Amino acid sequence: MKRLFVAIKIVPDENFLKSYHALRYALQLEKISWVKPDNFHLTLKFLGKTPEEKLPVIRTALQQAAAQTPCFSMKMAGTGIFGSSYKPRVLWFGVENDETIHQLGEMVLNSLDKAGFPRDRQNFIPHLTIGRINKIEHKKMFQEAIAAHRDDFLQEFPVDKIILYESLLKPSGVIYRVIMDFPLG
C-alpha cells in the first residue's frame, strides 16, 4: 500500500517566501506545524492508502485529465484559514480566481471518480496548506496577522504538469516522493 495524492508542485520565489516567513514570524508564539517550503504543493486529490495494483488505472485517469488541460499560468495570492475563527485548523495561501485551475481540479476528480476513487464531499477549493494549527493562544494577534497578509500577492508561475506523489511519514517529518508526472495539454 502506498499513501498517494495528486498535486501541482509549487516552487516558491523570493516574494512568496517573504510572505511565508513574515507570517511564521508573526505567529511564532502559536502552536502551528508549518509546512516546509520544499514540500509546497497544491493538492488536487488525496487518494490515501492505495494498493500498488491500482497504479495503472490511476495512470490512465491522470493521463486523460492532463491531456485535456492546456498549460496555464497560476497566480498565488491571499491568506486564509479553514475552520472557524474561534477554532482554525489550517492556514493557507490561496489561488486567484482562475477558471483553469478549477477545470483541471474537476477533470482530475471526475477521471479518478470513474476509475474507482470517489469524489470527496467538499467542493474543490484550490489552496496551498502552509500550516496545520494545533492551538492558538493569542486569538486577537492571530487574526491580526492573518488580516495583515489576507491580500498578499505571492507569485505567478507556469503550470505544465500534474504529479502523482507518495507521502512517506518519517520520524523526521513527511517526505513526498514523485511516482509519476503527467504533462498538460
Active site residues: 41, 127
DSSP 8-state class, residue 39: G
Q: Are 157 and 10 in contact (CB under 8 A)?
A: yes
118 to 9, 26, 45, 108: CA distances (angstroms):
23, 39, 10, 11
d(CA 124, CA 62): 17
Cβ 43 vs Cβ 6: under 8 Å: yes
Q: How far apart are CA 74 and CA 89, in angstroms?
A: 25
| Beta-sheet pairing, 2-9 with 41-50 | antiparallel
